[in-house]
Amino acid sequence: MQKTLIALAILSASAAHADEGMWMPQQLPQVAKQLKAAGLKLDPATLTKLTEFPMGAIVSLGGCSASFVSPQGLVATNHHCVYGSVAHNSTPERDLLANGFLAHNLGEELPAAPGSRIFVTKAVTNVSKQVVTAEVAKLSGKKRSDAIEKNIKAIQAACEQDAGHRCTVSSYYGGLEYYLIKQLEIRDVRLVHAPPAGVGKFGGDTDNWMWPRHTGDYGFYRAYVSKDGKAADYSKDNVPYIPQHYLKLAKKGSKEGDFVMVLGYPGRTNRHRLPSEVAFTFDWSYPAFVKSSAESLAIIADTTKDNKDTALKYASQVASINNYYKNRQGMLDSYAGSDMLKRKTAEHEALKNWINANPARKAEYAGDIELVEKLIAQRDAETKRDYFLSSSKPRLLNTARMLYRLANENTKPDAERKVGYQVRDVPRIKASVAALVRNYDEKVDQALVINSLSKYAAQPAAERNAAFDAAIGIKDGMSKAELQAALEKLYAGSKLGDAAERSSWIGKTPAEFKASNDSFIQAAVALYEPGMKEEADEEELGGKLQQAYANYMKAKIAFMQSKGQAVYPDANSTLRVTFGKIAGRDHGADGTTWTAFTTVNGVAAKATGQGEFNAPQAQLAAIKARDFGKYVDPILKSVPVAYLATLDITGGNSGSAALNAKGEWIGLAFDGTLDSIISDWDFNKANTRDIQVDLRYILWNMKHVDHADNLLKEMNAE
């Protein structure tokens, strides 16, 4: 691979603490000394080879991480990552969420939720010069955005000539660099095993982000392909995918002080953000999110309390909202007691002083540093203005708008269609439309919408969206009852609540949409042209911001290198490696010490027989009888449940394989501690701990409680 800014930024990586950093695989040779010093027994160079062991076993679920753990395409991930598929297959008569699910053979496996995918990364290629060509570099605003998008689509289309693959160009360092990620896209995904909620979600929202933890957060999918080994849609004739590599189970149990690394697809971190972005996020954005999330949870709870089927439909959404609600509140609590903004401001001032101290640097960077601040301020003001608007749109209206946009894009050659509406995107759109069957209810949706709509309608007319007001029928001074009546009329005038009706609109022409008297379709048509104007304005701002932000990051990298500091890119949902050790920590808040491991003794101690702590009776009986088999830890004298490690992870890492020094599987990352999740913005070496479910607990529960003997044999665990 050509030497790039990313590679150059690592040459002085010895200044970085070993536990900090979400490293791209190709960066690892530059931190080989740290890896070896931390205890890695493998050659660090092997971790750069994406189609060899162990990287070839690591996959993405498009929001969670996972890994192959058998030669028959068995995939291990977190329980909360398969939760949507469990909910999709659950009914009041067959509540798989509560009772768990186990397929005893291939024929019993269930189709995962619509749109489920398993992505196997095959190649990562630097395409920066193809995306931002010499000609593009001269452009600004929307012209720049359009040119970059055009180049990205061309690169992706060429890559996807290899049938069955999904290719994505990802941005690094605020658009300073671009990499092409080529992935095999497995479309036939099936649910194989998920423990009962009393195991997989034990502790629920009470224990979420907390330690000590006793959650068995694991579940299994299987990847299927056609008989000729190609990616294919679901078919009873498909066969299990045979991966080139899969993880082997650790021969020895883990202990405190052991080397550990996690391989996965972390979502987003924000460590390179400007002070103004930090202030906006923690002073306004996160508080607003926490408030609206609490309201949404209360509304869903109230409107589903008497209907178990509806509650099941919204179970996955409730789990997601709860997760982020507690996450953001935890970040706010950590931020309130920190000097983060002060330090970020001082660092930013030091950067500007360094730039201004040299005429050449000043000429190259100073203008963009000033411009990026102005553009960020404009973006933040628009975000505030439109906050309630974004959540005031009924889901069926959003679906209608997506379908009408698809109809319009379909009139163009594929290369000219908007990203998200090309031929490659149609399966995703179909899946999202189909998924509404098991995750949508009109009563709940109306209640959520009216809560936001009443706040939106109370804004001055100048701050509202005139096109949206006209489509919904909003006027100044409307009471909540009047807004409710307008909303009910909109819902009543549409047939999109019917699954067959929704699906029938996929592939229809713009003329057919315009001729429809369906209320949501009519609103979608009315909002189309104003929406395109808004999108153009956003792209004008985005193009300017990309240009200025990339140069800001170029300056920051140069500045940090001048001080001998490593610069790894923020997480962006691409494959990364983080490494450290299994370790407890002092918990300064109450003067206690957190031990590195929890055990099943804690499960029994917490179990109440109801709610979030309703452990299965079979499990409690096995614990009471000390029926631990070979999974007992010789030091702990019990079965380990979870362990802490000094790993640098974030959302998206859920389900990531934790490996020992030999590259053997020892668990699954699934969470962090509440006081360390602020590391998304500000890495704290002393506090940062992530949480893994121990492989021994997974295997013990499968063997002694769920009797998943077929899967244990498949994984060579017996």
Question: Which helix (H) or strand (E) covers residue 548, if one does?
Answer: helix 519-562
Give the whole-angstrom CA distance, residue 115 versus residue 449.
25
For 589-634, give the DSSP string.
TTTEEE-SEEEHHHHHHH--SSGGG---HHHHHHHHTT--GGG-BT
Catalytic: 80?
yes
User: Is 470:477 a contact under the CB 8 Å cutoff?
Assistant: no
User: Is 513:407 a contact under the CB 8 Å cutoff?
Assistant: yes
Torsion over CA of 167, 173, 177 and 178, rounded to 10 degrees? 10
User: CB under 8 Å, gap of 24 or more: what pairs does 496-500 form?
Assistant: 496/396, 496/399, 496/400, 496/520, 496/521, 497/396, 497/442, 499/434, 499/436, 499/437
Task: Give the end-to-end CA distance of the chain in Å, rounded to a whole number.
Answer: 42
Q: Which of 182, 177, 175, 135 is nearest to 158 (CA)?
A: 182
Give the whole-angstrom CA distance, residue 669 versus residue 79.
11
Residue 320 CA: distances (Å) to CA of 91, 204, 205, 420:
20, 12, 10, 23
Peptide bond into 212 cis (omega under 30): yes
Give the whole-angstrom CA distance, residue 644 versus residue 213.
10
Antiparallel, parallel or unpaired: β 239-240 and 219-225: antiparallel
Give the whole-angstrom CA distance, residue 58 versus residue 66.
6
Catalytic option among 19, 217, 258, 648: 217
User: Is 563:5 a contact under the CB 8 Å cutoff?
Assistant: no
Catalytic: 654?
yes
Give the whole-angstrom CA distance, residue 571 versus residue 569.
6
- Report helix, strand or coil for 190: strand
Neighbours of 533 (CB within 10 A): 11
- Report helix, strand or coil for 283: helix
**Tokens 């099941």 identify what position?**
312
Catalytic option among 67, 79, 80, 445: 80
Catalytic: 292?
no
Q: What is the DSSP letter of 438?
A: H
- The 3-state DSSP composition of the chain as helix, strand, coil percent (nearest 5) reads 50, 15, 35
- Report helix, strand or coil for 665: strand
Alpha helices in 426-518 (DSSP H): 426-439, 442-457, 466-472, 480-492, 499-504, 510-515
Compute and round to an integer the Cα radius of gyration of the chain.
26
| Separation of CA 378 from chain center | 27
Neighbours of 665 (CB within 10 A): 22
User: Is 234:111 a contact under the CB 8 Å cutoff?
Assistant: yes
For 120-159, give the DSSP string.
EEEEEEE-HHHHS-HHHHT--HHHHHHHHHHHHHHHHHHH
Catalytic option among 85, 654, 676, 679: 654
Residues serving a catalytic function are 80, 217, 654
